[in-house]
Amino acid sequence: GQSLEQPSEVTAVEGAIVQINCTYQTSGFYGLSWYQQHDGGAPTFLSYNGLDGLEETGRFSSFLSRSDSYGYLLLQELQMKDSASYFCAVRLNNFNKFYFGSGTKLNVKP
C-alpha cells in the first residue's frame, strides 16, 4: 500500500517563509504533486515534481528527493489568503493513480 506523512498543522506569520514536508512509502513511485484546499472549496493543483530537484512557481516552490522518499512545499512571502490545507500526493507508475496524504493545515497570522 501507500503511506504519506505530513505535519497536521503549521502556523506562521504574514510575510514569512514556511516549509511543509512530506515523506512517502510506496511501490511504483512516479512523481509527487501538491494541492491547496481552502475550507469548503475544491483541492487545486499547485505543483508537480517528476524529477529530483526544485520546481518554482511564483511564491511557491516544491522539492523532491527520490533517494530519501521526501519532498517539501515552500511558501514564501506568506499572505493571509494562503491559510488553507495543503496535500502532497504520489503518482504511481500506473499513471492514473494518485494517493494523498492527510493534509497540513496552514494558519497564517497577521
Partner 1 sequence: ETGVTQTPRHLVMGMTNKKSLKCEQHLGHNAMYWYKQSAKKPLELMFVYSLEERVENNSVPSRFSPECPNSSHLFLHLHTLQPEDSALYLCASSQDRTGELFFGEGSRLTVL
Binding site for partner 1 (CB under 8 A): 4, 31, 33, 35, 41-45, 48, 50, 87, 89, 91, 94-103
CB of 77 to partner 1, least distance (A): 24
- What is the distance between the alpha carbons of residues 6 and 87, in angstroms, rounded to a whole number? 8
Give 18 or 89: the residue with its C-beta nearer to partner 1: 89
Give 48 or 70: the residue with its C-beta nearer to partner 1: 48
CB of 70 to partner 1, least distance (A): 18
- The residue type found at 59 is R
Which segments of the chain are extended strands (E)?
3-5, 9-13, 18-25, 29-37, 44-49, 53-57, 60-65, 70-75, 84-92, 98-100, 104-109
Reading the block at residue 64, the C-alpha cell is: 523532491
CB of 37 to partner 1, least distance (A): 8
Give 70 or 99: the residue with its C-beta nearer to partner 1: 99
